[in-house]
Each structure stands twice: as structure tokens, then as C-alpha cells.
Amino acid sequence: MTRSAYDTTPAATAALGLVVLQADETLELDFRRMLAPDVPFYTSRVPSGEEVTPETLQAMADHLSRAAGLLPGGAPIAAIGYGCTSGAAQIGTERVAELIRAGRATGGVSEPVTALVAACRALGLRSLAFLSPYTATVSDRLRDVLREQGIETPRFGSFEEAEEARVVRIAPASIRDAAVELARQGAVDGVFLSCTNLRTLDLIEEVERATGLPCLSSNQVLCWHLAQLARITADVPGRLGRLPDAPPGQSRSSPA
């Protein structure tokens, strides 16, 4: 055998990691569209229930550290995202960060709830029309968490779907129409489309044009926030993507 010499190249310094639900068919596709081709992101999967209930969401906590630990160990990962909005609310955002860090060293951790709060602060939003695919028992926990952060959801709508495999099949036109209808009920300054498995990315600017309000979605805010944490750029749609760079969670109108 002849042993050949080789050179090495440096690893990417701004790679992202994602812990994606077993049932999710949307998040990775959306991220690839929002990130530049030369930004690497690595994914791991976490077991998730076929039905979305408070119990199945909480059960993911038992697997998060192991899932994060399956991200490639040789690549420095600047930030890791947990891809479940309702799961982050149910488990608790601080607990999610602890579990992710227990499995994999990283510079930053986010999930759609923390990312949404940061996006709302950046845009100056305090009152949302909140559209969820899930039952009220699942969505109520998220609404409570947002209220604790000073974000009200006076207009709430849901497709009342518990089966995850059906959530990803909800037609984009149905999502758009429901979001616009909620926003037109008034008393809100933004729209939120909840769930990483819901196909919302192409609807954001359409909803903004129809309502005149900023529209946020789980995947959009998560990508935006992870990019902020990793100090890279991301091409996120809507008004959020047109904001100038700022530290994560800091309002552009707030003093430094």
C-alpha cells in the first residue's frame, strides 16, 4: 500500500445546525432557500409524535440532547436551531437551550419562539394576528408565552389539525386567506404564521401586501435569528428581511 500525503482545508466558521422534527417536511427546504449557497447547515432529526399534543411535544425533551449530539462533531457550528414552535413553548425556551448545549457545543441556540420575540422587538410589534394549524390546547401555551414577553395575540385562528402529516398538506391558498381574514379583524400590528411544517415562505410578502402589516412565520424568524447569532446574512422575505442588521433581540428603534 502506498500512503498518500494530503492537505487540509479549514472548516467553515459560520455553519448552522438544525434539530428538525421527524415529521417535518418543510424546514430544511425553506432554510436552503434563505441561506446563501456557501453557508453550510447541518441537520439532525428528533423523534416526534404523529399527533401534536402537549404530551407529545413535551416528550421531545427526552431526545433533544441526543439529537443535537448527532450533528457533525468535526464542524464548528456557530448556532443551532430547534425547529418546533409549539415544542419550544411547551418545553420552555431556556430548557431547550440547555438540552441542545448538553448535546453539542455551539455559539448560540434559538428556536421559533425566541426568534419570534426578537423579530417582534426588532419591528416594534406588540399585537399579532396569530394563525396556527393546531388545536387550541396546543396553541394556548404559545400564546401564554408570548404574553409573558409583552406580545398579545387578540386575533387567533386555527385549522384545528392535530395530525402532523396533514399539516404540511394544508394548501398555501388556505393559509393566505385565513391569515388575511384574521388581520382584517383589526387591533393588531402584525401577522404570525405558526409552525415550521406549514408551507408559508412564499406567502409572507403576499400577506403583507394584502394587509399592510408585517408578516412573520416560524421558519422565517428562525433563519433570521440564527443568522444574527452566527453573524451571517440570510435572504428572508418580508419586512423583517429589509431591516438593517442589529444585535439579536434589539429593536432598531431602541438605544444601544
> For residue 8, is it within any domain?
no
Among the listed residues 109, 32, 42, 110, the one whose alpha carbon sits nearest the alpha carbon of residue 73? 42
Q: What is the mean pLDDT of residues 62-67?
A: 98
- Residue 29's contacts (CB-CB under 8 Å, 6 or more residues apart) are none
The C-alpha atoms of residue 135 and residue 157 are separated, in whole angstroms, by 10
Give percent of the chain with pLDDT exceeding 90: 88
Q: Which three cell numbers stand for residue 180?
A: 388575511
The C-alpha atoms of residue 87 and residue 111 are separated, in whole angstroms, by 9
| Candidate from 55-59, 131-135, 242-246 with smallest mean pLDDT | 242-246
Q: How far is the CA of 88 from the CAs of 47, 146, 172, 196, in angstroms?
A: 15, 12, 24, 12
Instruction: Quote the radius of gyration of the chain (alpha carbons, Å).
Output: 18
Looking at the fold, whether 28 and 43 belong to one and the same domain comes out as yes
Looking at the fold, whether 152 and 94 belong to one and the same domain comes out as no
3-state secondary structure of 127: strand
- pLDDT at residue 250 tops 90: no
The C-alpha atoms of residue 72 and residue 239 are separated, in whole angstroms, by 34
Question: 251 — phi, psi (to 5°)?
Answer: -65, 140
Q: Are 195 and 142 in contact (CB under 8 A)?
A: no
Q: Which residues pair with 42 in a beta bridge?
A: 17
User: Which residue type does 28 have?
Assistant: E
**Which residue range forms the structural domain that includes residue 232?**
15-113+220-241
3-state secondary structure of 234: strand
Looking at the fold, whether 38 and 154 belong to one and the same domain comes out as no
The C-alpha atoms of residue 237 and residue 33 are separated, in whole angstroms, by 10
> For residue 255, is it within any domain?
no
- The domain boundary, picked from 217, 233, 250, lies at 217
Looking at the fold, whether 83 and 70 belong to one and the same domain comes out as yes
> For residue 127, is it within any domain?
yes
Looking at the fold, whether 20 and 91 belong to one and the same domain comes out as yes
> For residue 7, is it within any domain?
no
User: Which residue type does 51 have?
Assistant: E
Other CB atoms within a 10 A radius of the CB of residue 98 amount to 15
Mean pLDDT of the chain: 93
pLDDT at 10: 81
Q: Where are the alpha helices (DSSP H) in the chain?
A: 27-34, 54-59, 64-69, 85-91, 93-103, 112-123, 136-148, 164-167, 172-183, 204-211, 218-230, 238-241
Looking at the fold, whether 136 and 156 belong to one and the same domain comes out as yes
> For residue 50, is it within any domain?
yes
Which tens digit of pLDDT belongs to each residue from 213-236?
Answer: 999 999 999 999 999 999 999 999
Q: What is the mean pLDDT of residues 31-46?
A: 95
Looking at the fold, whether 85 and 137 belong to one and the same domain comes out as no
Going 219 to 28 to 104 to 107, the CA torsion angle's sign is negative
- pLDDT at residue 254 tops 80: no
> For residue 2, is it within any domain?
no
User: Which residue type does 255 have?
Assistant: P
> For residue 10, is it within any domain?
no
Looking at the fold, whether 120 and 88 belong to one and the same domain comes out as no
Looking at the fold, whether 122 and 208 belong to one and the same domain comes out as yes
Looking at the fold, whether 84 and 174 belong to one and the same domain comes out as no
Question: 129 — phi, psi (to 5°)?
Answer: -85, 115
Q: What is the mean pLDDT of residues 52-72?
A: 97
Which tens digit of pLDDT belongs to each residue from 81-118?
Answer: 999 999 999 999 999 999 999 999 999 999 999 999 99
> For residue 33, is it within any domain?
yes
Which tens digit of pLDDT belongs to each residue from 148-200?
Answer: 999 999 999 999 999 999 999 999 999 999 999 999 999 999 999 999 999 99
pLDDT at 248: 47
Confidence of residue 245 (pLDDT cuts 50, 70, 90): low
The C-alpha atoms of residue 56 and residue 67 are separated, in whole angstroms, by 16
The better pLDDT of the pair 245, 169 is held by 169
Looking at the fold, whether 87 and 123 belong to one and the same domain comes out as no
DSSP 61: G
Q: What is the mean pLDDT of residues 18-28?
A: 97
pLDDT at 46: 98
Q: Residue 187: which CATH number?
A: 3.40.50.12500
Looking at the fold, whether 226 and 191 belong to one and the same domain comes out as no
Question: Number of folded domains in the chain?
Answer: 2
